[in-house]
Amino acid sequence: MKSIYLIGTPDSGKTAVALGLALKLRQEGFNPGYFKPVGSTAGVLDQRDEDGVLMKTVLEMTDDLDTIVPLTAGSFYVSGQRDPKKCRDRVLASYQQIAGRFDPVIVDGPSFPWVMASFGLDAFSIARDIGAGILCTMRTKSDFDFDAALFFNHYALSKGLPLVGNIFNNIPRPMLAKAQGVYAQLLESFGYRLLGVIPSRPEIHAPTVAEYYDVLGGEILTGEDKLDLLVEDVLIGAMTIESALGTLRRALNKAVIIGGDRSDYALAALETSTSVLILTGGLYPHINVITRAKEKGVPVILVHYDTVTTIEQISKVARRIRPGDQKAIALALENVERYCDWPAILESLKT
Amino acid sequence: MQALTSLFRPASVAIIGASGKPGKIGNIILKNVVASGYPGRVFPINPKETEIEGLPAYPSVTRVPEAVEVAVIAVPAPRVLPVVAECGAVGVKHLIVISAGFKETGAEGNALEKELVSTARRYGMRVVGPNCVGIMDTHTPLNASFAAGFPNKGEIAFISQSGAMLVAILDWSLLSGLGFSKFISLGNKADLNESDFIEAAADDPETKVILGYIEDVSDGVRFLEVATRASRNKPIVVLKSGVSQAGAQAASSHTGALAGSDLAYEVAFRHAGVIRVESMAELFDLALAFAKQPIPKGNRLAIVTNSGGPGIVATDAAEEKGLAIARFGKKTLDALRAALPREANIYNPVDVLGDARADRFRFALTKVLEDENVDAAVVLVCPTATVEPRDTAKTIVEVSRSFPEKPVFGVYMGGEILETGAHLLTEAGIPCYTFPEVAVNAMRALAYYGEMIGARTDEPLPEYQDLDPERVRAVFAAVRDDNRLVLLGSEGAAVLEAYGIPVAPTKLATRAEEAVAIAEELGYPVVLKVASPKIVHKTDIGGVRMGLETPGEVMASFWAVMSNVQRALPHVIPHGIDVQRQAPRGTEVIIGVTRDVHFGHLIAFGLGGIYVNLLKDVSFRLAHGLSLREIEKMISETKAFTLLRGYRGQKPADVGALVNIIARVTRLVTDFPEIAEMDINPVFAYNAGALALDVKITIS
């Protein structure tokens, strides 16, 4: 086997695992490459696939980004005047180019494995075409997530695809025991292999203020130098200040979304654990809010849409590891080293 | 604070930015200093002038040949810092920075203000302002401000966070004749704040009453200490704005204050013996009363009136405000009956009838004030045909002088006819109002103050020997390690246990089998409660199962709770389920804690159960300096107390056990300031003992 295909669902952290795995393989003397047949463009400002940019940089790949990520697909791709066959040819040609220079190739799946099935380019079809082994990376935070993992394994097996195994990634602490116990046993009872359970770590899984800014745009009123703060919770300021205080206090490292005219609320939020204030409606806050935010080192982003639109927008925010984020990159490697049976993954590449 | 004496009574004052041009701030200040009759040396500073308003001017404070004690700075903000450094270099003791353009303008101004303070500190100088009107002292006399006018000499110190409020009051006082000892404009309170000036006013022999207009308190704990001490000897009457939501925002935008919770202010003021008023009118009504009248021994009020209706209104107002309508002794009643017309009402309120002239008022007022059951009197005068406004006023003044221990208030209900009499009363130091409610309110404030200074006790909480702070620290550390701020029920129970607070045994189960094992260990019946920092109202989502008697029930309930939670909150992943030994029902009460930005922890006690939010039967105290007696008072203030004492034949509950819990909670939050919120709900109070059932703790 020359390549490993990571499949999973949107928040399962495939790219972080791909990154960690690639770095580990490099340490072990391999020359891994990265390939993402179907990319996505999340940012408002940047139209490139950011995972591709990250891996190209970290793995020092000289290939064009268009080769590393030959296609991108939005949720209306079918209506676009693209020819499925040409798309497929392009994916295969790009893969050939990368596989010619790297060994192994770590293939990163799309948000869901069925994406681009209409073109015959779902993850399983591409895996079959390029002869990749399936590594199912899932965030099993509920029984249904586990069911999905199981289903992907069943499906791959029924298609005759080689199975590398499963990694439960980005597992919230309250679910760790269950993932390691109940799910692990159940998975193995079906004859599938569990290669690791990686706990959720905000340093790598929580989005940063920068990611919010990428999605929301707007104006940074203060704290340009603090965009690397982690956002672990989101609160919407739609209540009186008295009832809000309890909620504000309970949430750690949060983004607080409020109308720009709610200075009282903004000031209260700044007295609690807040990573970013997102002020909506294009209303500039009172000067005290900015002064206090500056003192506290909390970025303030002013957006020009209303609160409802803002909330819709931030559902698109996801943590991406950026090329310069050495801490997250190191952690991605550490996660694979500490929590995964990487020798077993190496072994599967030899067969 | 002795150190501030030289601010109000300096040997010399320099006005930096003094100007000869009329209308300029630097000109107004200089003229004010001179016009106030300030006896010390005055040095105008202006690099472009050699003489201003007939005084030799100096290019810089460093060029003044004599020592400068106070410098008033009125140069544009960007030039303030170098001037401050110069003042420091020549040993100026105090700065009054009039200049605006600091914290109130944003981040840059804020940085400038911080630098201003640190420069002043380096030289050991104290700073009033910046962005203030200045200060005045009528006894020095010194008017180091740009306000128009100078107050009459008096015994009231007025400390104001709003410069506009200060000048408005000043102008009004000139019209009304009320005198002041000091006027202080706080401005941005970069260094000296309300606490410093309350302390200074408390030590000032010329000041009898301290008035304040404040939008926020800079240092809550210091304010409590200073005000508690000062209010022992002098009444402190404060108008604190920002009660309403919009008001809070206006206050917070005004001089850069972060308005804390209004409730906390309410509780803190009561704690410190500060009398809070609701309006500017009330502020000055009370100022007058406190300045001119003695503090009564009690709250029993006598009312003398020449008409029935106003007498009843006054009586109603008195009862509503919690004053007692004095019941006269037999001797008084006999004397009144003997001398007043037969139709007159000799019981309180005493109605001397519409045809009463001054002599009848004199008689009735003298008799009621002689009565030992009377602590104070209000005289209501209506403009009847035979009324003698001036003579009656003189009479009231004379009678009141014979009873220097008992406050007397006049109410002249009318306008033109009564005006001269009303004026006469005010001039003679008898507060005179147009309507009875105002007089009653003033009396209430005096009585409240009297009661408060009489009742002060400061005995601290007992030193408990059975506390285990290490265990609490360990729990908090584990919570932080788990990247949480909210404790699970089992963790909360452990914290209470460590501080000797009786709590129903609670343990966390992550699997159904574990829940059964815990139930076996604790003993049946048990309660299951979902454990998640994300779930505040467990019952609402089916996260609680009670009265479970068998392993089978526990097992089934475990899954039922889990699926209820999943259905209601699909994105929440519970940490597990708390298993608790079910306790017998008692009287439900709640004990809560919240931390205020200014005053620290606020303790709440109230009736528990499902009507908590409806009845709002809750009393509050600050944890700071809370005593066992105050805890008892706090409990007795609530309606829940009636229940606890045994309502309608029920057995009384163990109030002592509740006092013990509140005292230990107070110790816990004092030892662990990181506790931001805590809610013990319910606590079951039994015939003997009490037990905490559920506790939520949020740390920061």
Q: Say which residue, B567 or B666, is predicted with more confidence.
A: B666
Of A172, A178, A290, the CB nearest to B107: A290
| Predicted pLDDT of residue A247 | 83
Assess if residue B145 is contained within a domain: no
Q: In which band, very low, low, confident or very high, does the pLDDT at A1 lie, cut at 50, 70 and 90?
A: low
Give chain B's domain count.
5
The mean pLDDT value for A267-272 works out to 86
Q: Spelled out in words, what is the top-level CATH class assigned to the domain A209-314?
A: alpha beta
Residues B561 and B604 in one domain: no
Q: Say which residue, B650 or B272, is predicted with more confidence.
A: B272
Q: Which two tokens stand for residue B136?
A: 């005045």
Check B107 against A272: CB less than 8 A apart: no
Assess if residue B192 is contained within a domain: yes
How far apart are the CA of A117 and the nearest CA of chain B, in angstroms?
Answer: 29
CATH label of the domain that carries residue B210:
3.40.50.261
| Chain B CB contacts of A176 below 8 Å | none
Compute the distance between CA of residue B151 and CA of residue B232 in angstroms, rounded to an integer: 26
| Chain A CB contacts of B602 below 8 Å | none
Assess if residue B462 is contained within a domain: no
Q: What is the ipTM of this complex?
A: 0.74
Asked whether the predicted pLDDT for residue B259 surpasses 50, the reply is no
Total residue length of chain A: 351
Residues B606 and B674 in one domain: yes
How far apart are the CA of A329 and the nearest CA of chain B, in angstroms?
Answer: 21
Check A174 against B676: CB less than 8 A apart: no
How far apart are the CA of A102 and the nearest CA of chain B, in angstroms?
Answer: 40
| Chain A CB contacts of B486 below 8 Å | 250
- Pinpoint the alpha helices (H) of B4-106: 5-8, 25-35, 80-89
* B549 and B646 Cβ atoms separated by less than 8 Å: no
Check B510 against A178: CB less than 8 A apart: yes
- Pinpoint the alpha helices (H) of B36-155: 80-89, 107-122
How far apart are the CA of A174 and the nearest CA of chain B, in angstroms?
Answer: 5
Q: Which two tokens stand for residue B161?
A: 């966070």
- What does the domain layout of chain A look like in residue ranges? 3-201+321-350, 209-314
Minimal CA–CA distance to B519: which of B501, B532, B505, B498?
B505
Residues B312 and B442 in one domain: yes
Check B249 against A263: CB less than 8 A apart: yes
Identify the domain containing residue B270 by its residue range: 151-292
Assess if residue B335 is contained within a domain: yes
Helix (H, G, I), strand (E, B) or coil at B398: helix
Assess if residue B49 is contained within a domain: yes
CATH label of the domain that carries residue B562:
3.30.1490.20
Check A242 against B110: CB less than 8 A apart: no
How far apart are the CA of A29 and the nearest CA of chain B, in angstroms?
Answer: 36
pLDDT in tens, B271-329: 899 999 988 889 988 988 999 899 999 999 999 999 889 999 999 999 999 999 999 99
Of A240, A250, A263, the CB nearest to B698: A250
Per DSSP, B104 falls in state G
Instruction: State the DSSP string of B585-635.
Output: P-EEEEEEEEEETTTEEEEEEEE-STTHHHH--EEEEESTT--HHHHHHHH
Residues B284 and B357 in one domain: no
Neighbouring C-beta atoms of residue A142, cutoff 10 Å: 15
Compute the distance between CA of residue B361 and CA of residue B602 in angstroms, rounded to an integer: 49
Of A264, A273, A287, the CB nearest to B485: A273
Compute the distance between CA of residue B38 and CA of residue B698 in angstroms, rounded to an integer: 56
Compute the distance between CA of residue A201 and CA of residue A173 in angstroms, rounded to an integer: 9
pLDDT in tens, A45-100: 556 888 899 999 999 999 999 999 999 888 888 887 789 999 999 999 999 999 99
Check B248 against A292: CB less than 8 A apart: no
Domain boundary residue, one of B409, B430, B455: B455
B259/A contact by beta carbon, under 8 A: yes
Asked if the domains A3-201+321-350 and A209-314 are classified in one and the same CATH topology, the answer is no
B190/A contact by beta carbon, under 8 A: no
Of B106, B253, B486, the CB nearest to A290: B106
| Predicted pLDDT of residue B613 | 63
Of A141, A267, A271, the CB nearest to B252: A267
Asked whether the predicted pLDDT for residue B35 surpasses 50, the reply is yes
Extended strands (E) in A119-193? 133-138, 163-171
Q: Which two tokens stand for residue A37?
A: 């047949």
pLDDT in tens, B174-228: 877 789 999 999 999 999 999 999 999 999 999 999 999 998 888 899 999 999 9
B545/A contact by beta carbon, under 8 A: no
Per DSSP, B58 falls in state B
Q: In which band, very low, low, confident or very high, does the pLDDT at B422 lie, cut at 50, 70 and 90?
A: confident
| Chain B CB contacts of A245 below 8 Å | 261, 594
Q: Spelled out in words, what is the top-level CATH class assigned to the domain A3-201+321-350?
A: alpha beta
* A348 and A203 Cβ atoms separated by less than 8 Å: no
